[in-house]
Amino acid sequence: MNIQLFGNEKAPTLLLIPGLGVSYEIFFPLIRLLDNRFRILAVEVDGFTLGKYTRFTSVDDQAAQIIAYVRTHFDGHLDGAYGLSLGGKILSRMLERNELTINHAIMDAAPLLPLPKWSVDPLRYYQAVNVWTCYQWTGFWKRVFHSHYFDVLLDECKKVWPFGGKQAVLDGYKSVYTNRLEHIYGDDIHFWYGTKEAFVAKPQAKHLLSIYPNAHIQVFDGMNHGQLLVDHPEEVAKRMEDILKPDTKTVTPVCYIFDLDGTLLNTIDDLGYACNYALEQTGFPTHPIEAYPAMVGNGINNLIRRALPETDRSEETILRVRAHFVPYYDAHNCDYTRPYQGIPELLGKLKQRGCHLAVASNKYQAATEKIVEHFFPCVFDVVLGEREGIERKPNPQIVYDICSSLESACNMPASDLLHAIVYVGDSLVDRDTATNANVPFIACSWGFVPREKLVDAGIDRIVDSPAEIIG
C-alpha cells in the first residue's frame, strides 16, 4: 500500500480511499479543488497500485495499514475521511475498529452487508471478467458507452489491471462480499448513493441506520456507482467542505485570530492620506477619504492599483507610487488611526480567559507590527502581515503559520490548534481566508464592508459590537 500526500501539510487532514478496480488518480479532479484547504491522504489500495505489482489481502488488512500510517504520521487523528465503494468498506472497518479519531466519515456506496455464500464465487469471477474486458477492449467500450463517466472508469481499469490483474479483483470482491459490518463508531457518519444503484445500496443504508441511527443518508438523483465523484467533483468538494466546516457555536476557542484594518482598528484615514500623498507625488489624481474603504483589503499594492486610473495600472507604475506611499505611511500610520469602540475591553476579557490572540493582516509586516505594538502593547502573541514569498489572504497560509507559532504556548500541535481557533474579520477576504483554512469565522459589521454585503454573502455569524464576540 502507498499513501500519496497532497496539499498544505499544516491544513486539516482528509483521507481518500478509492474503489475496487480504480487507482487513487480517480481523485485528481477532487484533489485539485481541495488541496489548498486540506492535507490530503490518497490511498493506493493493494492490488490496484500503479507502477508495481501488489496483492490485495483483505479489507481488514487494508484498514489496519491505513490505521498504522495515520497513527505514525498524524497522531491517530483525521479531520475527514471518504471511501468510494471498496474504499467505503475499508473505511467502515476502520470505524468499526475504533482505533483512530475520525471527525467526519463519508462512505460512498459502501457494501456493508455480505452476499449469500452460494453467490460469492460466481459474482467475483463475473467481476474479474468484467474488469478484464474493460482493460482489453477499452476503445470498444468507450465507443459503446460514449460518456465521461464510463470513459474515466475504463481508463482506470486500463491503468491498474497490469499491476494486480484478475487475482486482485477476485480477492477484493471475496473480502467485500463475505464481511458484515457489526458495529460502527464515530461522531459524524454519512452514507451516499445514487438512485441508479439503489437496489444494491439501499439495503446497505438501512443496515447502517440499524446499528448507527444518527447516520446521515444522502441519495443523489440520476447517479450511478461513483458517478457523483467522477462527473461532479465540484459537488463532492462543496459537500465535503460543508461537512467538515467547523461550527462557531460548538468550538471552544483557545485562540482568536483578528484581521487588523476594519476589525481592530479604523485605519482608513491614515491609509487614504498616505495614498493621496503618493498619488500627488507621482502626478495622479487623488480621492476623497470616504472612497477608500472600497479600495482596501488585499494589501498595499492592490490599494494603489485601485486608486490609480484604469489606464495607468501597470506593475511599474504601482511600484513607483508605492515607493512614495511606504515611507509616508511609516511616518504617519498612527496619526488618525484608532481602535474601534469596545475592542480594548474585548481583548482584555479574552486575555483574562487565557485565550491566545493573533493578528492576520494583508498590510506589510513592518507596518503591521508597528501599529499593533503602538495600540496594543504586549497583547498579541503572534502578529503577521504581508511577508515576502508568502501569499496574501485569502490564502490560508497565514492561519497555518499562526498555529505553528502557537504550538508551544498552547501545548498542542498546529493541526489540533486549528480546531480551537476562531477567526474575526470585517471583509469577504477574511471570510474566504477562514473558509480556506477550515476554521470558524465571525464577521464584524463595524468595519469597511457594509453589513448588507456581509448578509448577502451568506455569512452565518455577524456581530455588531465587539462584546457579542464572546457573548
Using one digit for the tens of pLDDT, what is the confidence trace for 377-408?
999 999 999 999 999 999 999 999 999 999 98
Residues of the chain with CATH 1.10.150: 268-332
User: What confidence score (pLDDT) does residue 250 get?
Assistant: 62
Residue with grid cell 456581530, as numbered in its chain: 463
User: What confidence score (pLDDT) does residue 9 get?
Assistant: 85
Partner residues linked to 108 by β-bridges: 84, 192
Name the residue among 407, 437, 451, 433 with its Cα closest to residue 75.
407
User: What confidence score (pLDDT) does residue 347 get?
Assistant: 97
Is 262:430 a contact under the CB 8 Å cutoff? no
User: What confidence score (pLDDT) does residue 247 get?
Assistant: 65
Q: Is the pTM of this model over 0.75?
A: yes
Residues of the chain with CATH 3.40.50.1820: 2-130+164-244
Whether pLDDT at 336 is above 90: yes
| Digit-coded pLDDT (tens) for 426-447 | 999 999 999 999 899 999 999 9
The C-alpha atoms of residue 3 and residue 147 are separated, in whole angstroms, by 30
Tell me the pLDDT band of 182, cut-offs 50, 70 and 90: very high
| Digit-coded pLDDT (tens) for 9-53 | 888 899 999 999 899 999 999 999 998 889 999 999 999 999 999
Whether pLDDT at 269 is above 90: yes
Backbone φ and ψ for 445, nearest 5 degrees, come out as -90, -5
Whether pLDDT at 249 is above 70: no
Q: What is the domain class of 268-332 according to CATH? A: mainly alpha
The C-alpha atoms of residue 223 and residue 153 are separated, in whole angstroms, by 14
Q: How far is CA 286 from the centre of its chain?
A: 41
Tell me the pLDDT band of 373, cut-offs 50, 70 and 90: very high
| Digit-coded pLDDT (tens) for 201-230 | 999 999 999 999 999 999 999 999 999 999
Tell me the pLDDT band of 251, cut-offs 50, 70 and 90: low
Backbone φ and ψ for 137, nearest 5 degrees, come out as -120, 40
Tell me the pLDDT band of 283, cut-offs 50, 70 and 90: very high
Whether pLDDT at 187 is above 80: yes
Q: Which CATH number fits domain 2-130+164-244: 3.40.50.720, 3.40.50.1820, 3.30.1490.20, 3.90.550.10?
A: 3.40.50.1820
The C-alpha atoms of residue 290 and residue 413 are separated, in whole angstroms, by 43
CATH topology for the 255-264+337-469 domain: Rossmann fold (3.40.50)
Q: Count the Cβ atoms, other than its own, within 10 Å of residue 284.
A: 19
Whether pLDDT at 324 is above 90: yes
User: What confidence score (pLDDT) does residue 86 get?
Assistant: 95
Whether pLDDT at 253 is above 90: no
Residues of the chain with CATH 3.40.50.1000: 255-264+337-469
User: What confidence score (pLDDT) does residue 66 get?
Assistant: 98
Tell me the pLDDT band of 146, cut-offs 50, 70 and 90: low
Tell me the pLDDT band of 246, cut-offs 50, 70 and 90: confident
